[in-house]
Chain A
C-alpha cells in the first residue's frame, strides 16, 4: 500500500464524512432544541435521495441544482410532522416519542418499498466519472462537490443559529423553555421550524448522497444509525461536534475498507462509538454532565 493510495482513500472518506456530518447535523439540531430523537432520520434522507433520483430520471434535472427544491419539500414535511404529529408527544414520556418516530420510520421505508421497489437506484450524471488531480491526489468530482456543498450548508446553518433573530430565538427555546414562554416566543412554531430546518438539512444531504451512492429503501435504518453514531461521538447537542464526528466516521469507514475489507466499515464505526463512550461519555465536544 502506497501512501498516495492511503491519502486518496482518506480524502474520499473525509469528503463523504462531510455529507454524513450534514445529515447528522439535522439530527443534532432537532434533538438539541426539541429533545425529540428523530428515529426516522435516515429514512428521511433516503426519501430525499429518491426525490433526487426521480427528478433526474424523469426530468433530467441535476441532483445538485435540485437540492434546494428537495430541501424545500423536506422542510414542509418536517414542519407538518412536528406541528401535527410530534407536537402532542413533546411532553409525553420518551418511550412514547420513540415509538411514534419509529412508526414514522417504518411507514417511510415501507412506503418507499411500495413506490420505488427494493432495487438500488443510482444516478449517472455526465460528471459521475470525472475527477480532479491535485498533486498526488485523485479526487472524485462527485465527492468533491458533495463534500464542499455540505461544508457550505453546515456553515450557513451555524450562521443562521448564531446571527439571525429567529436562530437566536430557537437557541433561547433550547436554553430555557419556561423563559421562552415568559418573553412570549411562539414555541410551537419555533419547534416546528426547527424540525423543518433539520429535515431540510437532510434534504440537501440526501441529494448529495444520491450522486455518491445508490438509493434503496433499506438504506434508511443504516443511515439513522450512522447519524446517531456521529452525533454521540461528536457530543449530543454540539453542532461542531456533529461536523467533526461525521468526518471522523467517514475517514474511519474509508480506512476500514482499505486496511481490512469494506464490509468491516460499520464495525470500525461502532468500535469508535464504544471507545468514545468509554473514554469520554459526553462525546468529543459534549459538555460533561449536560442534562
Chain B
C-alpha cells in the first residue's frame, strides 16, 4: 500500500532521515519505534508532505507522492494523528470535526462519517459546542483521532498517540487503534512506548539517528536481546 525508499530529510544542515525505507500492506499495522530524536516525527511529516524530503520515493498505491503538498496527500487517503494532537483550540469540537472533513474525498460523506465518529467517541457529541482547548488531554486525543477519521482515510499515521496521557487513557487509545485495525484500517504507529506498540503491530521498524537499524515481525523483535536491552529496559 505504502512503500518508502531511501528517504532523506534535512533541517538546514542537520540530517534527520538518512535513507529510510519501510513498507506497509493493506490492512496492516506497522510500528516504527525509536528513542526521542530518532527521526520518527520527521518520517511521519515527510510522508504527510509537511516536510519536503531531499531525496527518495514515497509510493502510495503506485503514485510517487514525495514532494506533494499536504492537502493533496491527505486527499489520496493518508490521514494523520499528529504528535501533540494539533487540534484547533478555539474552535468548537464540532468545528474541529468539520475541518477534518474539508477534503474533497470526504465532504459528501460528512453525515455518515460524523455518525461513525460519534459512535466511536460518544464523549465528543456531549461536548460538541465546547471549545476544543477546554477538553482534557484524553478527550483532545479522541478529538484528534475523530477529526482524522472525518477525512475518510485508508491509512492513518499515528505519531505518539499515548504521549502525555494517563495510563488508563493510554490503554483506551491503544484499544481504539486495535479496533480501527480490526475494521480494516491500515496503520503506521509511531511510538516511544515500545512494548505496547510491539504488542499491537504485526511488523516493526527500529529507527536510530534517522536510519532503520532493525526490522521484522514484532513478536520476534520483542524477543531480540538487543531490542529488549535498548528499548524495553530488560
Among A175, A182, A183, A184, the residue within 8 A (CB) of B90 is: A175
| A172 and B74 contacting across the interface, CB-CB below 8 Å | no
Within A171-220, the residues touching B (CB, 8 Å) are 171-172, 175-176, 178-188
Residues of A contacting B99 with CB < 8 Å? 168-169, 172, 179-180, 183, 185
User: Cβ of A134 < 8 Å from any Cβ of B?
Assistant: no
User: Assuming A183-B99, A183-B147, A184-B73, what are 19 further A-B pairs, CB within 8 angstroms?
Assistant: A165-B98, A168-B98, A171-B88, A171-B91, A172-B91, A176-B88, A176-B89, A178-B50, A178-B86, A179-B86, A179-B99, A182-B70, A182-B82, A182-B148, A183-B74, A183-B151, A184-B70, A184-B71, A184-B103
Among A168, A169, A179: residue with most chain B CB under 10 A: A179
- For chains A and B in complex, what number of residue pairs have CB atoms within 8 angstroms? 67
Chain B 75-118 per-residue mask, 1 if CB under 8 angstroms from chain A, else 0 = 10000101000111111000100111011000000000000000
Nearest B-chain residue to A177, judged by Cβ: B86
| B98 and A186 contacting across the interface, CB-CB below 8 Å | no
Interface of B with A (CB < 8 Å)? 48, 50, 69-71, 73-75, 80, 82, 86-91, 95, 98-100, 102-103, 147-148, 151
Interface of A with B (CB < 8 Å)? 165, 168-169, 171-172, 175-176, 178-188
How far is B217's CA from A232's CA once the two chains are assembled, in angstroms?
Answer: 59
Residues of B contacting A171 with CB < 8 Å? 88, 90-91, 95
| B86 and A182 contacting across the interface, CB-CB below 8 Å | yes
Measured between C-beta atoms, what is the minimum distance from A212 to chain B in Å? 36
Among B69, B88, B99, B151: residue with most chain A CB under 10 A: B99
How far is B71's CA from A188's CA once the two chains are assembled, in angstroms?
Answer: 10
Measured between C-beta atoms, what is the minimum distance from B203 to chain A in Å? 25
Given A168-B95, A169-B102, A181:B147 Cβ within 8 A:
no
Residues of B contacting A178 with CB < 8 Å? 50, 82, 86
Given A168-B95, A168-B98, A169-B99, A181:B70 Cβ within 8 A:
yes
Residues of A contacting B75 with CB < 8 Å? 184
Residues of A contacting B80 with CB < 8 Å? 182
| A184 and B98 contacting across the interface, CB-CB below 8 Å | no
